[in-house]
Structures are given as C-alpha cells and as structure tokens.
Amino acid sequence: MKASSCTVRCWAVVLAVCLATPQLLDARVTPTHGFDLFSAQEEVQAGQQAAAQIPKQLPLLPDSSPITQYVQHLGHELAAHAPGEQWPYSFHVVNQKDINAFALPGGPVYVNLGTIQAADNEAELAGVIAHEISHVVQRHGTRAASKQMAAQLPLAILGGIMGRGALSQMAQLGLSFGVGSYFLKNSRQSEKEADLLGADIMYDTGFNPQAMAQFFEKIQSQGGSRAPQFFSDHPDPGNRVEYVSAEVDTLPRKQQYRSDSDEFRQIKQEVAGMKPLTAQQIAAGQKQGGTVGLPGADVTPSGNMRSLNHDYFQISYPENWQVFGDRTSAVTIAPQSGVSQDAVAYGVMINVYQLEDPSASLDQDTHALLSSLRQSNPDLRQIGNDESIRVSGVPGRSVDLIGTSPVRDQNGRPAQERDWLVTLERSDGNLLYLVFIAPEKDFGSLRPTFEQILRTLKVR
C-alpha cells in the first residue's frame, strides 16, 4: 500500500524527535552518586530531627506570614521539577539580615529574609531556592557526613552500618546537621553540582538559569557585611556564569523566560521596610520568633568591640571577653567562663609558630603546625580540605578541625569540639596562627563573631 505524503512527513517528524531526544536527555544534569551511609528514610529523619531544633536557634517567620507562604509556593513549584528521589520538601524564612540560605538533608530549605531583600526579581530568588533544592537532590549533607564517619569508624563497624544504622552511629560520634554544622558547609565541587542542577530546575520552571549565577556574582561583587556569610557556606567555584551558560546552551532555546511576578513585587515591597536581625544579634540572644542565644551571659559575645595591640598583630574582639596573656606572648581571647583548668572551650588562641625550614611553602608550614598541635591534642582531626584565604591582604590557609571539648554533654561525656585554624605568613618568615574554638553545638552561632574578629586582624 502506498503511504500518503502527509503520513510520510509525520513519520519523518516522529523519527527526528526520537533521534534528537536521547541527545537532549544526555545533556541534562542528573543526580550524582557518591559514598553515602544513609538510607533515604534515614536522610529524611536526619533532616527532620535537625529541623526540630532550628526554631530554638534561629528566628523563623511563622508559616502564616505572607512572605513565608510566597516562598513556600515558589519553592514547591521549583521542587516539582527536581529529579531523583521525591523528598518531602519544606520551605522556611529566617528573619536574618545576612544574605544566605541552607538546606537540611531530606528536604527542609531555609532562606534568609536578607536574601529576599537583596533579590531584584523573582528569577534571582528562584535561583537561590533551586540551588538549595539541588543540594538536597545531590544528598551533599549526608555524603559529607558519611566521609567523616568513614574517617572515624573502624572498617568492621563501617561495613555493618551500610544502609542502616547510620543515623544512630552519627549521634554516638557527636555529629549533627544543626545550624552551622560542618556538613552544611559545601565544597566548591558541591557548589558547582548545585549550580548546574539548579540551572535545569530553573529552566524547567520557566526561569532564565542565568539569573542564579548573576545573583551570586552580584552579591559577591557588592561584598560588605552581608555577603561573607553566604560565601563561607557556599564557596565560589569560579566561572559560574560561564559554566551555567554552557549548560543552558545544551537545552532547547526558549523565546521568553519568567523574570518577575506581581506576587514577588508585593512581597518585595513588604520586606523592604523590615529590619531583620543580624547574626551577631541572634548569637547575643535577642529573642524573636523563639530564638535563643548561647548558654552563659559572658559567653554570648557583646556587639561592641575593643582593640588589642600586640607586638605581632592588632585585633578587635567582643568587649565582654577577656585577654589572657600579654603583648609579647601567646594570647587567648575568651569569655571568663570559656577557660578552665588551662583548657579553652570558647574563644580564640593566637600565637606565632617558629619555622624550622624557611624555604617551605605556606601549605607545608601549615601542616607542620598541625602535626605540632596534634602532639598535645592527639584526637584533633582535620575535616575537609585546606583553603587559601587572604586576611587584610596577607596570604593564609584555612583549616577546619574537630576534636574533644572540655565541655561535657548532658550525659556527662566530653562534647565534640570544632576548631577553625587560620595561618598567615609573617614578614620574618614565621607563621602567625589563630585557632577559633567552640563546642560543635555552638560553633555555628559563634562563627559570625569569629569571622568578624578575623576581618579586623592586622599583621605587624
């Protein structure tokens, strides 16, 4: 039987689509798979447990707020296009001035009010939310926790908890996904994965993916006091606009993208007159929406700063903390109750490390210092990778560590401690170093203060 010319043309179109579709699908970003001890059920449970503590640590806007309802609507619209596991997403607004957002394992997403205030249009805000949804899809939090657990657990125990029991084992190790947790501080690779997957989610929801990369670059170029918190949790992987553009080029072209909406403009007008809390105010325990501060009035850092002039450096610190030591020796800056029996539970230790090899690199010097610190603290362990930083123009290295705190938990056992080591080159060839110290549960609340202290440092 002879086919009509119309039938032939129709089949030609179908064949062309069938041949083209695999190429289009191959170009789409798919969830990556890495080492993960957590089952999907444990991942959701971990996120829900951490989310239950958030209202005690951060000032959340109520679910009845029009701002929260708008973010929830936008978030669920974006999440409907997220690939992979269908996590139970939830969306919340933190009444905090700093530009930031974070996601817990299994679906809870939090956006600071300052981020909404900084967004110029709905597409920019959608980019931030899509980026956080992508961290959930990629399971970045539990994958980071799994790596840390693998470093701490014997192989026999590790094999026994594969796919079961990871959550209880994590609790026994004193690890958590709470506010400021190391496992919510993403690597540059994780950031790039979230950018690329977020670009696809934005595209499928009708937004221009470029708005996401452009927003991140905009707040980075503006700098100031609000952007650093975002980039301490979301380090810039570099070339964001370029690789997001390359991903967009693999997708079918659209004539028009969503950019703004009446709903966003109404919310933008409402948040413009609001005065959200700063991270320092939250840490100081100014209550709003159930926020609580750190235990101990003198541990909670004052909003006012005073200066210390040392022979080797100048630095500012909270005026209700004290300086232990003199201007020619190693010093500790800490609250009175943060130091006991020659152990520091809260505060910062500053000293100079005398180098044996003046020709060694900054990286080599930093690891020589780490080896020296471990001699007096055998349980001190590095988590993640070193990062290059600059403090007042001086090159340095940043290292996250974990150890045992002199503080006891509610069961009388030593609590987990977080330490942040920063090393800086001195003109005499030696190493100035700072160790910021706090129990794991309080480190996230104190980190903005630690970062503020570091920004005031001037090396002599």
Contact of 151 with 381, CB cutoff 8 Å: yes
Q: Which residues pair with 351 in a beta bridge?
A: 433
- Helix pair 122-137, 66-79: axis angle to 10 deg: 60
- In the chain, % of residues over pLDDT 90: 33
User: Could you tell me the pLDDT band of residue 21, with boundaries at 50, 70 and 90?
Assistant: very low
Lowest mean pLDDT among 219-223, 292-296, 422-426: 292-296
Closest CA to 87 of 63, 71, 108, 111: 108
Who contacts 117 (Cβ-Cβ below 8 Å, separation ≥6)? 268, 271, 272, 274, 276
d(CA 336, CA 308): 17
Contact of 453 with 348, CB cutoff 8 Å: yes
Per-residue burial over 313-339, b if 16 or more Cβ lie within 10 Å, else e, is bebbbbebbbbbeeeeeebbbbbeebb
User: Could you tell me the pLDDT band of residue 188, with boundaries at 50, 70 and 90?
Assistant: confident
Contact of 86 with 110, CB cutoff 8 Å: no
Q: Which of 66-70, 247-251, 276-280, 405-409 has the highest mean pLDDT?
A: 66-70
For domain 305-459, is the CATH number 3.40.50.720?
no
Closest CA to 305 of 456, 459, 458: 456
∠ at Cα 292 (287, 295), nearest 5°?
Answer: 130
pLDDT tens across 375-384, in order?
A: 778 888 998 8
pLDDT tens across 356-396, in order?
A: 777 788 999 999 999 888 877 888 899 888 899 999 889 99
Lowest mean pLDDT among 3-12, 117-126, 314-323, 351-360: 3-12
Kindly state the greatest CA–CA separation across the chain. 101
φ/ψ of 33, rounded to 5, equals -125, 120
Report residue 81 CA to chain centroid gap.
24
Residues of the chain with CATH 3.40.1000.10: 305-459
pTM higher than 0.75: no
User: For position 182, what pLDDT does the model report?
Assistant: 55
Return the H-helix or E-strand segment holding 222.
helix 210-222
d(CA 239, CA 174): 37
